[in-house]
């Protein structure tokens, strides 16, 4: 595998840099650089998505015939690196990176024609309805019921940990349409209009004080069978396909490299960059991120869905994200004891009381505890890392 960029790759990199320099405002750069969770601030992320859409770059991995950029793996990786380096906010992954590939891979032609253009433009903003109070990592235990009634399904039940469901107008849900021999059977992948009568969204406030997550309650919600992706009772195949993109559909290394660079810069400013203990820990993190980058290159060069590589990238990527937050807390020092959400660009409204105005200490240090708290969830969502290790062990016949 040749890791050197070709002249064409370097030309594409320069094109991306010019585009970012032209279109990124100070507000958008702040929204990317001072995020306090893995999700960007909704309004700014949507603004950035619309800018990308006008250029045809909103969906780097989608085929051109569906409105995507149609980029090679190398181009997608270069764009990811340059976006992070420039400070651009991420686009919400729920639609373009997760539901979109599921519709492209398993949806009907009518579903592709209707949903994909609206997903790209941001007219439809998506949330995910997978986990339930009794079905998290054991997703096949889900109980949300959908009963057939003519051309419709009547859906009743509860979902939890639904990111940005409070601002979403569409959601993709797993519902139980039959009880068969195996729990993975009888599950259906369903697209639901969040404005439907009977849909209720309630907030969940994270330890950082941000309202990003939600509960969703569906009470006799009528959904057309035309909104089923794939076949009724066979949604588990679609769900597994989507989860590959959620766990390993994007590269972790570019964002991690940028974060470690910023941690190193903050450490120099704090006068601790040359402390042997800290320097050794930072070097160890850099080596691990470099190894992850090589793995991501290999996995993406294979093309298609990530497959088992998704579990490897999810484990390594989220655990390194958590390691980065720990290093950030070391640099923050005493400023890490303060609660200062006003210093960051949170992924949702901050519900806990806090001071307004300037933050105490360096801005990097002020948001370090917020990143630390938010990213404790990284090794749990999209299937806990323990579940990912079980998946890998099973694939190896262990």
Locus of tokens 């594409």:
12
Domain contains 119: no
Cα–Cα dist 367/34, whole Å? 8
Percent of the chain with pLDDT over 70: 96
More confident residue, 280 or 387: 280
Distance CA 254, CA 287 (A): 13
- Output the domain CATH number for residue 272: 1.20.140.10
Domain membership flag for residue 271 = yes
Cβ contacts of 24 within 8 Å, gap of 6 or more: 86, 87, 88
Q: What is the CATH number of the domain that holds 208?
A: 2.40.110.10
Enter the DSSP assignment of 345: B
Q: Whats the size of the chain, residue-wise?
A: 398
Dump pLDDT digits (tens) for 85-110: 999 999 999 999 999 999 999 999 99
Domain of residue 287, residue span:
250-395
pLDDT score for 241: 83
Helix or strand holding residue 81 (H, E): helix 73-86
Q: Looking at the predicted structure, is the pLDDT value of residue 391 above 90?
A: no
Question: Domain count of the chain?
Answer: 3
Evaluate whether residue 104 is within a structural domain.
Answer: no
Q: Which of 210, 246, 255, 296 is catalytic?
A: 246
Looking at the fold, whether 233 and 285 belong to one and the same domain comes out as: no
321-342 per-position pLDDT tens digit: 999 999 999 999 999 999 999 9
Mean pLDDT computed over 78-83: 93
The residue behind tokens 């497959």 is 307
CB contact at 8 A, 263 and 321:
no
Cβ partners under 8 Å of residue 6, min gap 6: none
Calculate mean pLDDT across residues 44-73. 95
Question: CA 60 to CA 74: how far, in whole Å?
Answer: 11
Domain annotation covers residue 100 = no
**Average of per-residue pLDDT across 153-165:** 97
Question: Is 26 part of a structural domain of the chain?
Answer: yes
Structural domain includes residue 33: yes
pLDDT of 398 higher than 90 = no
Q: What stretch of H or E contains 199?
A: strand 199-205
What is the rounded CA–CA span in Å between residue 375 and residue 325?
8
Going by C-alpha positions, the residue among 225, 173, 176 that lies closest to residue 199 is 173
Residue 302 confidence class, pLDDT cut points 50, 70, 90: low
Local structure of 230: helix, strand or coil: coil
Check whether residue 203 and residue 325 sit in a common domain: no
pLDDT of residue 304: 59
Confidence of residue 303 (pLDDT cuts 50, 70, 90): low
Q: Which structure tokens are listed for 175?
A: 């519902």
User: Does residue 299 share a domain with residue 233?
Assistant: no
Residues 380 and 268 in one domain: yes
Position 65 pLDDT exceeds 90: yes
Question: Residue 218: how many CB atoms within 10 A of its CB?
Answer: 24
> Are both 385 and 254 inside the same structural domain?
yes
Is 310 a member of any domain? yes
How far is residue 158 CA from its own chain's centroid?
22
Mean pLDDT along residues 374-397:
88
Both 22 and 153 in a single domain? no
| End position of a domain, from candidates 237, 272, 290 | 237
Assess whether pLDDT exceeds 80 at residue 247. no
The pLDDT assigned to 25 comes to 96
State the pLDDT at residue 35: 93
Give the model's confidence band at 243: pLDDT under 50 very low, under 70 low, under 90 confident, else very high. Answer: confident
Q: Residue 169 domain-assigned?
A: yes
What pLDDT, on the 0 to 100 scale, is given for residue 319? 96
What CATH number does residue 65 fall under?
A: 1.10.540.10
194 pLDDT higher than 80: yes
265 a catalytic residue: no
């Amino acid at each position: 595998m040749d890791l050197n960029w070709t002249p064409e790759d370097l030309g594409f990199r320069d094109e991306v840099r010019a585009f970012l320099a032209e279109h990124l405002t100070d507000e958008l750069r702040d929204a990317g650089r001072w995020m306090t969770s893995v999700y960007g601030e909704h309004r700014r992320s949507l603004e950035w998505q619309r800018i990308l859409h006008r250029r045809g770059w909103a969906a780097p991995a989608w085929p051109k015939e569906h409105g995507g950029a149609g980029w090679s793996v190398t181009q997608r990786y270069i764009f990811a690196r340059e976006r992070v380096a420039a400070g651009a906010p991420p686009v919400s992954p729920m639609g373009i990176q997760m539901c979109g590939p599921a519709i492209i891979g398993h949806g009907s032609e009518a579903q592709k024609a209707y949903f994909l253009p609206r997903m790209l433009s941001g007219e439809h903003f998506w949330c995910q309805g997978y986990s339930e109070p009794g079905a998290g990592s054991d997703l096949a235990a889900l109980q949300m019921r959908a009963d057939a009634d003519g051309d419709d399904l009547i859906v009743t039940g509860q979902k939890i940990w639904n990111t940005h469901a409070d601002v979403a107008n569409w959601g993709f849900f797993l519902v139980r349409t039959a009880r068969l021999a195996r729990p993975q059977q009888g599950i259906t992948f369903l697209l639901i209009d969040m404005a439907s009568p009977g849909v209720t969204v309630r907030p969940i406030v994270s330890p950082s004080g941000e309202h990003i997550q939600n509960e969703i309650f569906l009470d006799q919600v009528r959904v057309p069978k035309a909104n089923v992706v794939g076949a009724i009772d066979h949604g588990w195949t679609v769900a597994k396909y989507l989860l590959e993109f959620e766990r390993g559909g994007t590269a972790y290394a570019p964002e991690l490299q940028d974060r470690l660079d910023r941690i190193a810069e903050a450490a120099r400013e704090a006068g601790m960059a040359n402390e042997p203990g800290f320097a050794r820990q930072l070097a160890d993190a850099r080596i691990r991120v470099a190894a992850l980058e090589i793995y991501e290159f290999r996995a993406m060069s294979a093309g298609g869905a990530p497959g088992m590589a998704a579990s490897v990238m999810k484990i390594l990527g989220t655990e390194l994200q958590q390691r980065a937050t720990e290093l950030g807390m070391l640099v923050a020092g005493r400023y890490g004891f303060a609660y200062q959400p006003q210093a960051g660009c949170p992924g949702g409204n901050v519900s806990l009381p806090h001071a307004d105005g300037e933050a105490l200490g360096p801005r990097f240090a002020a948001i370090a505890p917020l990143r630390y708290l938010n990213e404790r969830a990284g090794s749990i969502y999209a299937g806990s890392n323990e579940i990912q290790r079980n998946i890998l062990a099973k694939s190896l016949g262990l």
